[in-house]
């Protein structure tokens, strides 16, 4: 395997990794602030995208098992599925926030601090994980498996944390949704 060729092949994706890593959070932030007038709120979406987060966490864990069991094709397919789930989550999340007012957390006392810690860490790491996922994916598709493994050891726990805390945030705020 030609490592120099793999690195060169991977570099052609760097521009797209940077563009997407910046554009996705910026576009989400912009769209988050836009409300579509005269549209029925998509209040049915939060439990769906929370479920997508839960499924993503399970898919990531199964993908880890698959690669440790040398089931490379299964691992590859599961990781592509995890990326697709994340894109679906993002589309639903944005659609919900463009049609619905944000729900305020109503808990008090220590639970309020727990909620905001989980929420803020979830948001910050969901932005942070974007370039990690993209770089990890590019290293796999360019057959740069040594560097893929190195960054996957960083990407995996961050992505798993984001998926799990997405579910936790939903469960903590769901009693305060207005039906």
Rounded distance between C-alpha atoms, residue 39 and residue 57, angstroms: 32
pLDDT on residue 177: 81
pLDDT on residue 142: 94
pLDDT on residue 3: 58
Of the candidates 122, 129, 126, the one whose C-alpha atom is nearest the C-alpha of residue 171 is 122
Confidence bin at 32 (pLDDT 50/70/90) = confident
- As a CATH number, domain 15-176 is 1.20.120
Of the candidates 96, 103, 66, 68, the one whose C-alpha atom is nearest the C-alpha of residue 81 is 66
Its pTM stands at 0.91
Which spans in the chain are helix H?
A: 3-11, 14-32, 45-68, 72-99, 110-141, 145-173
CA-derived radius of gyration, the chain: 18
3-state helix, strand, coil in the chain (%, to 5): 80, 0, 20
Domain assignments of the chain as residue spans, ordered by start:
15-176
């Amino acid at each position: 395997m030609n490592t120099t060729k793999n690195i060169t092949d991977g570099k052609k994706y760097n521009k797209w990794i940077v563009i997407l890593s910046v554009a996705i959070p910026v576009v989400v932030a912009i769209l988050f602030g836009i409300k579509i007038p005269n549209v029925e709120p998509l209040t049915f979406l939060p439990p769906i995208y929370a479920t997508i987060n839960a499924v993503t966490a399970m898919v990531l864990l199964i993908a880890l098992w698959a690669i440790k069991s040398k089931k490379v094709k299964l691992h590859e397919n599961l990781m592509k599925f995890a990326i697709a789930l994340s894109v679906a989550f993002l589309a639903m999340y944005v659609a919900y926030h463009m049609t619905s007012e944000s729900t305020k957390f109503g808990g008090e006392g220590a639970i309020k601090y727990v909620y905001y810690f989980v929420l803020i860490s979830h948001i910050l790491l969901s932005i942070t994980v974007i370039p990690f996922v993209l770089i990890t994916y590019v290293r796999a598709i360019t057959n740069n498996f040594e560097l893929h493994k190195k960054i996957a050891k960083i990407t995996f726990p961050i992505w798993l944390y984001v998926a799990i805390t997405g579910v936790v945030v939903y469960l903590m705020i769901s009693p305060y949704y207005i039906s």
